[in-house]
């Protein structure tokens, strides 16, 4: 098993049409702190492909001509069962030559659809293509980090709506893809030895460390999960002021190629780094492909009127070329006031040159913007009609680069919400979040002990704390009849519900009310807190620390993976509750 410090943290964002990969930095997580709503840690680096693009079209094609595509830089160069795979734009051009449906058409030939269809009659071919694509991404990561495939450790994002079967299929595809990249760099003898080790489960360390949902990755990218927990707990300050990085509700707007997904995430308590998804809704009619299709239809109409021809959109080859030009035009209009959609010899040898201004483009997508606004307005209140004040609204996806889309979200719907880190591009937020999470996992000292797979090959499952454990100060003699009120109003949380187990925390406890002898006439109660089915929090006293000498002491609290709670005061022997 490799040392965590020798490994390369990688984040993979497998979008519906594009894929992005980012490299994290372990050094950024040493002694890192934050004192604001969003942190200032350096961001991971997005890896560019051979063409210099910071994204790769998630398409896989087969090229039987070994000389074709050599200059494209999009082939993995590995002879896989006498087939040569090509990726990205080279695969799109291959689809056009074969008169196959475009990327935006159904059924889509993207990698995500290949993974979903791997159980069908063409499952073997689809599986091989998916593995080859992730092997290609692994090669890009190795070239960018000057490392070996065996050193890569990845975190992969999945949609909120993905099923466990889809998540498992994605993990398997990534594992097999990186393994293929590893085998391609080994000699025949080394390859046989590696296969033998894997067959015997010797020193096996999985390449995929975790999978996280897209909204969680966006939150991590903006640093919303980076929480500075106070080392000293003052029992005299029960209410206290929220820390600068406190937030309660956040809205993640992921507006990508296949639709608009709005997700309401919530942080239950101030000091917790655990976020929960309260609600998630997807509107497919607001997709980025719908925007490109609207622009393509407008350009085709203008071209047919000017050239006195018809049937441009019915021609698969013409539609392929027009779709590529319109995708480029949409990206340009995100940063420029005008663009010309130009395609040489689009149809019947006639060139197309259609100028598009940003106001004209905004008019074309006005219907889509209205649908998006209607969807997002539904998040202003919860399911019970109670108004929600979002502290943070984060953007993700290519469409969120458009000024008109940003204006609707930022200025019209949520003008008072924090926008997160301004240096996180919306279209790269998911990949950045995955890479940051990968780096944080590798920086954890428990990774080397817990990362290996079981003998059955199943990934490790983590138990979480089902309730909250806290402490409160109780004066001797005053608890009669008032104990329930004291522990319900004056308890300070130590271990939050949802925290991964085992957990071990150490805090310094004090009471700054000017009385140095406060521990002579009071004791510390250990409180169990759990949310009731009808709302509210049920509190129960499960133990206590008898009065001590002095005005300050250190409390260590450990909760094992089987739910055993152990306490230690001032480094003394532990007591199990």
CATH at residue 126:
3.30.420.40
Please give the pLDDT value at position 4. Answer: 57
Please give the pLDDT value at position 80. Answer: 46
Band (414; pLDDT cuts 50, 70, 90): very high
pLDDT (tens digit, 9 = 90+) per residue, 289-304?
A: 999 999 999 999 999 9
Q: Are 438 and 447 in contact (CB under 8 A)?
A: no
Res. 534: pLDDT tops 80: no
Please give the pLDDT value at position 453. Answer: 45
**What is the DSSP-derived secondary structure letter of residue 35?**
-
Residues 277 and 140 in one domain: no
Res. 200: pLDDT tops 70: no
Residues 206 and 258 in one domain: no
CATH number at residue 256: 3.90.640.10
Least confident residue range of 9-18, 324-333, 466-475: 466-475
- Nearest of 408, 295, 301 to residue 358 by alpha carbon: 295
Using CA atoms, how far residue 90 sits from 97, 137, 267, 288, 489, in Å, is 11, 15, 44, 22, 64
Please give the pLDDT value at position 183. Answer: 86
Band (553; pLDDT cuts 50, 70, 90): confident
The percent of residues in the chain predicted with pLDDT above 70, rounded, is 77
Please give the pLDDT value at position 140. Answer: 94
- Nearest of 269, 307, 196, 140 to residue 531 by alpha carbon: 269
**Domain for residue 231, yes or no?**
no
Residues 395 and 495 in one domain: no
Residues 65 and 166 in one domain: yes
Domain boundary among 215, 238, 268: 215
- For the ranges 44-53, 99-108, 465-474, 535-544, the maximum mean pLDDT occurs at 44-53
Band (71; pLDDT cuts 50, 70, 90): very low
- Nearest of 497, 472, 470 to residue 485 by alpha carbon: 472
Res. 543: pLDDT tops 60: yes
| Distance from chain centroid for Cα 213 | 5
Band (3; pLDDT cuts 50, 70, 90): low
**Domain for residue 458, yes or no?**
no
Q: Could you give the CA distance from residue 180 to residue 171 in angstroms, rounded to a whole number?
A: 14
Band (456; pLDDT cuts 50, 70, 90): very low
Residues 297 and 160 in one domain: no
Higher per-residue confidence, 359 vs 205: 359
Res. 8: pLDDT tops 80: yes
pLDDT (tens digit, 9 = 90+) per residue, 390-400?
A: 999 999 999 99
* Total number of residues shown for the chain: 577
**99 contact partners, CB below 8 Å, separation of at least 6:** 316, 317
Dihedral (Cα; 369, 56, 43, 220), 10-degree rounding: 60
Higher per-residue confidence, 104 vs 87: 87
Residues 302 and 389 in one domain: yes
The percent of residues in the chain predicted with pLDDT above 90, rounded, is 39
Band (78; pLDDT cuts 50, 70, 90): very low
Please give the pLDDT value at position 29. Answer: 54
Please give the pLDDT value at position 570. Answer: 84
Residues 11 and 140 in one domain: yes
Structure token digits, residue 265: 């995430």
Structure token digits, residue 191: 């390859």
Res. 179: pLDDT tops 60: yes
Structural domain boundaries, residue 533: 468-576
Higher per-residue confidence, 214 vs 233: 214
Residues 297 and 339 in one domain: yes
Please give the pLDDT value at position 175. Answer: 93
Helices marked H in 72-158: 89-97, 111-116, 123-145
Domain boundary among 417, 435, 454: 417
**Domain for residue 235, yes or no?**
no
**Domain for residue 264, yes or no?**
yes
Please give the pLDDT value at position 452. Answer: 46
Q: How many other C-beta atoms can be found within 10 angstroms of the C-beta atom of residue 180?
A: 21
Please give the pLDDT value at position 366. Answer: 93
- For the ranges 50-64, 172-186, 292-306, 314-328, the maximum mean pLDDT occurs at 292-306
Q: How many domains does the chain have?
A: 3
Band (429; pLDDT cuts 50, 70, 90): very high
Please give the pLDDT value at position 261. Answer: 95
Domain boundary among 417, 435, 453: 417
Least confident residue range of 232-241, 424-433, 526-535, 551-560: 232-241
Q: Which helix (H) or strand (E) holds 568?
A: strand 565-569
Residues 341 and 490 in one domain: no
**What is the DSSP-derived secondary structure letter of residue 495?**
E
Q: Could you give the CA distance from residue 561 to residue 44 in angstroms, rounded to a whole number?
A: 32
Please give the pLDDT value at position 206. Answer: 85
Res. 118: pLDDT tops 70: no
Residues 198 and 325 in one domain: no
Using CA atoms, how far residue 140 sits from 56, 86, 88, 147, 150, in Å, is 11, 14, 13, 10, 14
Please give the pLDDT value at position 72. Answer: 47
Helices 89-97 and 316-333: crossing angle in degrees, nearest 10, is 150
Res. 436: pLDDT tops 50: yes
Band (5; pLDDT cuts 50, 70, 90): low
Please give the pLDDT value at position 77. Answer: 45
> Whole-number mean pLDDT of the chain?
81
Q: Are 299 and 355 in contact (CB under 8 A)?
A: no
Structure token digits, residue 366: 């006005």
**What is the DSSP-derived secondary structure letter of residue 75?**
B
Residues 375 and 475 in one domain: no
**Domain for residue 48, yes or no?**
yes
Q: Rounded mean pLDDT of 209-220?
A: 93
**Domain for residue 118, yes or no?**
yes
Q: Which long-range contacts (CB under 8 A, 24 or more apart) does 405-409 make?
A: 405/255, 405/369, 405/372, 408/369, 408/372, 408/373, 408/376, 409/253, 409/376
Higher per-residue confidence, 514 vs 184: 184
Res. 221: pLDDT tops 50: yes
Higher per-residue confidence, 295 vs 510: 295
Q: Rounded mean pLDDT of 428-444?
A: 91
Q: Could you give the CA distance from residue 198 to residue 206 in angstroms, rounded to a whole number?
A: 11
Residue 500 zone, left/alpha/beta (φ > 0; ψ -120 to 50; rest): beta
Q: Rounded mean pLDDT of 206-224?
A: 92
Band (16; pLDDT cuts 50, 70, 90): confident
Please give the pLDDT value at position 260. Answer: 94
Res. 250: pLDDT tops 80: yes
- Nearest of 108, 46, 328, 123 to residue 91 by alpha carbon: 108
Please give the pLDDT value at position 64. Answer: 60
**Domain for residue 454, yes or no?**
no
Least confident residue range of 95-109, 250-264, 358-372, 540-554: 95-109
3-state secondary structure 304-344: HHHHCCCCCCCCHHHHHHHHHHHHHHHHHHCCCCEEEEEEE
Residue 349 zone, left/alpha/beta (φ > 0; ψ -120 to 50; rest): left
Structure token digits, residue 214: 């897209």
**Domain for residue 457, yes or no?**
no
Please give the pLDDT value at position 386. Answer: 79
Residues 182 and 71 in one domain: yes
């Amino acid at each position: 098993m490799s040392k965590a410090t020798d490994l390369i943290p990688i984040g993979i964002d497998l979008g519906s049409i594009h894929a992005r990969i980012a490299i994290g930095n372990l050094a950024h997580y040493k002694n890192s702190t934050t004192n604001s709503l969003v942190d200032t840690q350096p961001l991971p680096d997005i890896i560019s492909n051979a063409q210099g693009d910071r994204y790769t079209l998630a398409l896989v094609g087969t090229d039987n001509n070994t000389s074709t595509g050599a200059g494209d830089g999009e082939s993995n160069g590995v002879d896989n069962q006498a087939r040569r795979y090509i990726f990205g734009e080279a695969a799109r051009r291959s689809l056009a030559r074969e008169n196959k449906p475009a990327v935006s058409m159904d059924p889509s030939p993207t990698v995500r659809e290949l993974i979903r269809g791997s159980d069908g009659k063409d499952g073997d071919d689809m599986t091989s293509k998916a593995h080859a694509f992730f092997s290609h991404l692994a090669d890009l990561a190795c070239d960018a980090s000057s490392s070996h495939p065996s050193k890569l450790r990845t975190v992969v994002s999945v949609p909120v709506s993905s099923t466990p079967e889809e998540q498992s299929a994605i993990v398997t595809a990534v594992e097999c893809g990186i393994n293929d990249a590893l085998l391609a760099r080994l000699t025949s003898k080394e390859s046989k030895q590696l296969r033998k080790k894997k067959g015997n489960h010797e020193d096996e360390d999985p390449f995929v460390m975790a999978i996280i949902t897209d909204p969680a990755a966006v939150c991590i990218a903006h640093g919303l999960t980076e929480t500075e927990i106070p080392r000293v707990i003052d029992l005299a300050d029960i209410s206290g002021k929220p820390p600068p990085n406190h937030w309660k509700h956040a809205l993640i707007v992921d507006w990508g190629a296949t639709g608009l997904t709005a997700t309401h995430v919530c942080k239950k308590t101030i000091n917790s780094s655990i976020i929960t998804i309260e609600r998630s809704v997807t509107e497919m009619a607001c997709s980025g492909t719908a925007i490109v299709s609207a622009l393509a239809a407008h350009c085709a109409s203008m071209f047919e009127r000017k050239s006195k021809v018809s049937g441009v959109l019915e021609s698969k080859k013409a539609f392929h070329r027009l779709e590529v030009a319109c995708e480029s035009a949409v990206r340009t209009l995100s940063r420029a006031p005008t663009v010309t959609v130009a395609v040489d010899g689009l149809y019947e040898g006639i060139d197309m040159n259609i100028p598009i201004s940003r106001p004209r483009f905004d008019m074309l997508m006005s219907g889509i913007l209205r649908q998006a606004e209607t969807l997002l307005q539904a998040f202003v209140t919860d399911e019970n009609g109670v108004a929600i004040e979002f502290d943070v609204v984060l953007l993700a996806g290519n469409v969120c680069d458009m000024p008109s889309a940003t204006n609707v979200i930022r200025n019209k719907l949520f003008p008072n919400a924090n926008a997160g880190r301004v240096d996180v591009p919306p279209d790269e937020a998911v990949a950045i979040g995955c890479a940051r999470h990968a780096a944080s996992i590798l920086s954890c000292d428990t990774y080397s002990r817990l990362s290996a797979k079981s003998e059955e090959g199943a990934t490790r499952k983590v138990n979480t704390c089902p309730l909250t454990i806290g402490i409160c100060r109780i004066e001797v003699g005053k608890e009669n009849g008032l104990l329930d009120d004291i522990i319900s109003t004056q308890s300070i949380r130590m271990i939050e519900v949802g925290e991964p187990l085992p957990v071990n925390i150490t805090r310094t406890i004090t009471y700054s009310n000017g009385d140095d002898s406060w521990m002579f006439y009071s004791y510390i109660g250990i409180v169990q807190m759990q949310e009731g089915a009808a709302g509210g929090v049920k509190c129960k006293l499960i133990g206590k620390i008898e009065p001590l000498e002095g005005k300050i002491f250190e409390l260590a609290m450990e909760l094992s993976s089987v739910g055993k709670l152990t306490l230690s005061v001032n480094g003394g022997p532990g007591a199990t509750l």
